[in-house]
Amino acid sequence: MQALFLFCSKVCSSLQQKVGMKFPTSRTCYSLLSFLVPLALPSIVKAQNEEAVPQSVTVASTRDPQWMSYRKAHYTLEWLESYPKPKNFIRLTFQLWPKDLNESTEGVQFELVGEKTRMLLPFEPGLHVTIPKLKEAYEEDAEFRINRRAGTYFFQNTGSIKLNANGVYPVKELRVACNQLLSVLRDGSIKYRLQYIGKDCKGIEFSYPKTMGNPSIFFRDSEGKLTKLDKLIPSSKRSEVGVLYKFPTEADTGEIITETTPLLIGGLFE
């Protein structure tokens, strides 16, 4: 505003010198300023607003045609919520992992994108992700996208046993949880029903990243004695390794202590 006023003053002074106009400079400049300000003000305000609005950064992402749609994920969540059998020890997450295990997962971002929906979905350890239930995303059947080439990552839902914040799992509860998980898997689809027909819960599998090394996980008996669990098996995810605990044939006493938090807990079905 001050710069505009000075400009008007210079114009008035120039007119006086060249044309010999006799009028009060201040009054003329005020009139000229009153005329120019309304014309210049929208541009000034627009420039200020453009400077004030932070620039958003959009991550280029692609949709993998082999992945499930948001509606499919939404349906799976609702199915488990309405499941009539006991499920208090069960959780449902979704997981990504690279087909090439040598590929770095650093900087991987996972998005839910629709006509009106656009949100980043944060990862839990092991590229597990919790899918939110959003009415708008369901109606427009939003897509899951990743900032990697299509076809380079697997993506699927994973049923598992809930993690305990304190890392302590009584064996008696683990057996109950394992049977709940087996029931959910059998009732989930014909594929799993055929896969697990005639099988029983024989133990628990604690999954860890292969890159972690040897996790610290122990069995503590009723007398307080600790025994390290070190029986490792390959996981079906290939990028993980499992630590096994087999249920005893006698009474379920003692507890499992996970000093190293697992990515997930599954059942050993035989």
So what's the pLDDT on residue 31? 53
Q: What is the 3-state secondary structure (H, E, C) of 66-105?
A: CCCCHHHHHHHHHHHHCCCCCCCCEEEEEEEEECCCCCCC
Report whether 247 contacts 171 (CB < 8 A): yes
Gap between the Cα atoms of 256 and 8, Å rounded: 83
Q: What is the pLDDT of residues 45-69, one digit of tens each?
A: 444 444 444 443 445 567 788 898 8
pLDDT tens by residue, 89-120 = 999 989 888 888 778 888 999 999 999 999 99
Percent of the chain at pLDDT > 70 equals: 75
The gap from C-alpha 109 to its chain's centroid, in whole angstroms, comes to 8
Closest CA to 181 of 166, 199, 165, 156: 199
Cα-based torsion angle of the residue sequence 152, 262, 134, 81 in order, rounded to the nearest 10 degrees: 120
pTM: 0.71
- Rounded to whole angstroms, the Cα distance separating 241 from 210 reads 6
Q: Judge whether 188 and 196 are in contact, CB under 8 Å.
A: no
Whole-angstrom distance, CA of residue 155 vs CA of residue 58:
22
